[in-house]
Amino acid sequence: MTTTSFKFLIFFPIVVMAYYVIPKRFRQIWLLVVSYYFYMSWDAKYGLVLLAVTAVTWLGAIMLEWIDGRITEERRRDHLKKLCVGALGLAVFGALFCCKYIVLVVGISFYTLQSFGYIMDVYRGKAMAERNFLRYALFLSFFPTVVSGPIERSTTLLCQLRCEERTNFRLENIKQGLCMILWGYFLKLVLAERIEFFVNAVYSQSLGGVYAILATMLYAVQIYCDFAGYSTLAMGAGRTLGFALTENFDAPYLASTVSEFWRRWHRSLTGWFRDYIYIPLGGNRKGRVRKYMNIMIVFMISGIWHGDGWKYLIWGGLNGFYQVAGEVLSPVRKKIVRALRLDKMGKVYKVMQVMVTFVLVDFAWLFFRADSTGRALRMARAMITEFKLSVLWDGSLYTLGIKQAEFIFLLLAVALLVAVDWLHYHRRYVLDLMKDWHWTVRTCLYAGLLMSVVIFGVFGVNYDEGTFIYFAF
Amino acid sequence: MTKVRLFISHFKKIVLFMAIVTAVIVSMNYLYVDDTDEFARYMLHEFYEEEENIDRLYIGTSHVFCGVNPVLLDEINGDNNFNLATGTQQLIASYYLLREADRIHNLDKVYLELYYDCTVGGKGNVHDPSTFPYSWLVLNQMKPSLNKLTYILDLSEPAYYYMSFLPFMRYKEQLFNKEYVARVFQAKQSEIWKNYEYRHITRVDDREYVMKDGEKGFRICDRTPEQGGFFEQKQEEPLDENPITEESLEYLLKITEYCEEQEIDLVWIGYPLSDYQLVRKGEYDNYIRQVSDLAKQYQVPYYDFNLCKREYLDLSQNSCWSDMGHLNTAGAELFTEFLGNFLLAQEAGDAAYQDCFYNSYEEKIHDSQEKIYGLEIVKSQDYERCMPEISEEERGKYVIYKVHPVTNAGVGDVVIKASVEDEDADSDSHSDKKNAIMETIQDGNDTYVVLTAEQDGSLCVEARLKDAEDVTNWARIEL
């Protein structure tokens, strides 16, 4: 069962209705039961792996807290090193295990990171070890996040689980949650799935020129809508049940620099890498060279985490390189800006920055999407050598999975996405803005959004429900 | 007071939300659901408009709405007869239409067609997604009711519900097809569609055939088969020993039990099909045998009019048929009159028709005058038989057609001639082209025609009985 499957449309309302009907003290147990059911619907044995990870990390955290204060700082560092080595060993073991059960990667990657983050927080004294096993088990297995995140922290979701008030019925939570779910479906089913037709057609044939440029640009939108769609769905499901999950995306394509992009893209994972890899490695506290090395290490690890091919390593490396190069070349950039008398606070400069950032990030996506590094390089070369603008109007563009009218529709939908993200970027949230609108307008918008998902969404009996891009990581 | 206001506020929002959603669904259905050429739309509209109580209900496939004229039956039996048949109606559709009819009317008698094609094989599996369109054409026209809801829930797995509840969702491939939407929209602007009339025009060569709505679910069609008789270009698999599927049996039992509970007299009927169709299909007696056994088991009268002796009902002439499975209006008139009188006699216990059926279809065909019912022409891969001397690589240079006469004549009693005609050839070389067939090989009554792969034009096949002077059947295939 995935969140875009028909089963989920039956499963979720039942979960929510039962959740608010049963007495408060049973609500979290109910969530735990349905979360395991949701996760085990892939395969029952996955539940056992999740349970084992839960038991080990729950006990580990309690033990860590118990020995805290009884040992010196020096021994504590020693323990930390052992912990890191142990985690690495666990990861290698996990990876070997996953070769056999590839689907397991889905869960292991996200909830393993979450449990590791929890242990580190307890070790650092940022969080208290959770004594209630069931509550901790729910923290790791909470069905909206268990498959593809967001990777929650002990300071966020676990704290909310400790607060019983959260489980109170609030109509506002239901309304906002359902609205988020609808927007998530719009991003995933209307945009990501439709764009996929074109992107797949171009990449499967390794086409060059305008085709490759357009497909790579659209792939940037596709992967964003795919993952942001899933995350918004998860947030909506969480909100409906009274929990505020971490916002994973914050208008990333409106970022002015690549480092800003990474502060806005998959924030829960980037934050995890920052807190548990970049900072322990020394962060920016040990000189420039170490900082640049640390950035490269973090992004290379991020690349490896996404997949085992060279293409992912290159993708991660490119993103790290952009940031290092950006810092190294900062004085040169400043000189150019001064020489050209550009207004750094002006809109033109800002738009240029956003466009350059998008091009850089998108070029890295080319490696991420292509079947292999060789193909990606061939397509990159063919973007220039086979460049023909005429394909934009000779009709050949519309023979690759989507027709002309569909293209126009997609452009309109992307424009809507940009508008929503632009508001988001300026900290003006659509849901908050809508509160001031007349109820008839709001109701029309809700109904319109629902019907646009129903009419324009790509789903149904021939639709592969398990095709979230981030399920593979 | 605050609670009342809050309730009103939410109620208003819900009403507006539902109104918008409904308006969008209705508009989408109007734009995308193409029922402009759907006989069921006219028929079910008339059914819902019927004010007089329906006494006798006829349910089944297109054979029923082509072959049974309720207006004639009204005159014969003095009751109100209605034809509630739809194209390729499976037994699940028959079951829910029966319930729907019984909900509105006080049914006295129900005549259920048992047609092999809708109860065996692929179409016999009512839960097979490939057969859902046959149910959807009924569901599209059914008014909202508990029967309709149960039918939808019963038909498919939940994953298919969205297509049953929201018909426009079946047309997702046409979502951005402006020409399609324009065509459907234009067709729905016509007076015929608005007035729930039905017209279907077929053009064959220079002739135009019109099918149109009759009364009470009867479809008028004056078409007759082309001169030269029936011919098909695909092979049929003969019927197995017990061919009816589990799914069809389930609904047959449901229909039977429902009629018993509601004290409705149920009769199972095998409607007339052309001898060409039944002989070509093969082993039709297997089907009759299984249905007869079931009829005995459930104590339901079963009459298969394909077993009828010619002296009682003679539909052997092609002039009675619009195609191999459907009677035309002339044939329907003959059959309806016979059916009406036959059923009355059975109800009265009259022995007038005691001897009107053969025991088996094979016996009937054996007892009939020798005839070529039609032709079956299919591509064959039997190079071993026709060209044993050539290598496998060379086979691509030749094309083999197997001409199978559908007949009750004995082996060797049919003469088949084949020739190739090139319409583009000039008059001088015409005769050469006409005789350009490489080889014909006789195998019993079948003939294998060998052509070169480059040969262009039309393959013309003529057939006659050995003792007959004139060619009775012919066919032409574009190569």
pLDDT at A105: 44
Q: Sorting pLDDT into bands at 50, 70 and 90, what band is A469?
A: low
Regarding beta strands B81-83 and B56-59, do their DSSP bridges make them parallel or antiparallel, or are they unpaired?
parallel
Question: Is-contact A218 A195, C-beta < 8 A?
Answer: yes
pLDDT at A72: 64
Chain B interface disruption, residue of A455, A456, A462, A463, most B CBs within 10 A = A455
pLDDT surpasses 70 at B430: no
Chain A interface disruption, residue of B17, B29, B160, B180, most A CBs within 10 A = B17
Query: SS3 of A151, please?
Result: coil
* ipTM topping 0.90: no
List the strands of the sheet with B199-204, edge to edge.
Answer: B199-204, B207-213, B219-221
Place of tokens 């009268």: B301
The CATH code for residues B372-478 is 2.60.40
Q: How far is Cα B249 from Cα B300, in angstroms, rounded to an integer?
A: 14
Pick the closest to residue A266 from A317, A328, A316, A321 (CA basis): A316
Q: Sorting pLDDT into bands at 50, 70 and 90, what band is A71?
A: low
* Phi, psi angle pair for A147, to nearest 5°: -85, -45
* Residue in B with minimal Cα distance to A408: B176
Residue B361: HSE in the Cβ half-sphere, 13 Å Cα cutoff: 24
Contacts of A206 (CB under 8 A, 6+ apart): A375, A378, A379, A382
**Cβ-Cβ contacts under 8 Å, A6 against chain B:** 158-159, 162
pLDDT at A102: 41
What's the pLDDT tens digit per position in A291-316?
999 999 999 999 988 887 889 999 99
Q: Which sign does the torsion angle of CA A431, A437, A441, A443 carry?
A: positive
* Residue in A with minimal Cα distance to B158: A6
Contacts of B416 (CB under 8 A, 6+ apart): B403, B405, B440, B442, B445, B447, B461, B462, B463
The model's pTM is 0.84
DSSP states along A58-109: HHHHHHHHHHTTSS-HHHHHHHHHHHHHHHHHHHHHHHHHHHH-TTHHHHHH
pLDDT surpasses 70 at A90: no
Question: Is-contact A16 A34, C-beta < 8 A?
Answer: no
pLDDT surpasses 50 at B398: yes
B→A interface, C-beta within 8 Å: 9, 12-13, 16-17, 20-21, 24-25, 28, 129, 158-160, 162-163, 166, 168-169, 172, 175-178
Rg from Cα positions in chain A = 23
Q: Which sign does the torsion angle of CA B42, B44, B49, B55 carry?
A: positive
pLDDT at A22: 94
Q: How far is Cα B197 from Cα B195, in angstroms, rounded to an integer?
A: 6
pLDDT surpasses 70 at B436: no
What's the pLDDT tens digit per position in A397-411?
888 888 889 999 999
pLDDT at A284: 86
Burial per residue of A187-221, b for 16 or more beta-carbon CB atoms within 10 angstroms, e otherwise: bbbbbbbbbbebbbbbbeebbbbbbbbbbbbbbbb
What's the pLDDT tens digit per position in A252-281?
999 999 999 999 999 999 999 999 899 988
Of A448, A456, A461, the CB nearest to B160: A461
Q: Which sign does the torsion angle of CA B245, B247, B253, B258 carry?
A: negative
pLDDT surpasses 90 at B366: yes
Question: Is-contact A396 A402, C-beta < 8 A?
Answer: no
Indicate the domain borders of chain B.
37-165+191-367, 372-478
Indicate if B372-478 has the same CATH topology as B37-165+191-367: no
- Mean pLDDT across B237-262: 94
pLDDT surpasses 90 at A342: no
pLDDT surpasses 50 at A106: no
pLDDT at A463: 67
* Ranges assigned E (strand) in A198-265: none
The pLDDT mean for chain B works out to: 90
What's the pLDDT tens digit per position in B65-82?
999 999 999 999 999 999
* Residue in A with minimal Cα distance to B26: A451
Strand partners, B231: B375
Give percent above pLDDT 90 in chain A.
58
Q: How far is Cα A168 from Cα A186, in angstroms, rounded to an integer?
A: 28
CATH topology of domain B37-165+191-367: Rossmann fold (3.40.50)
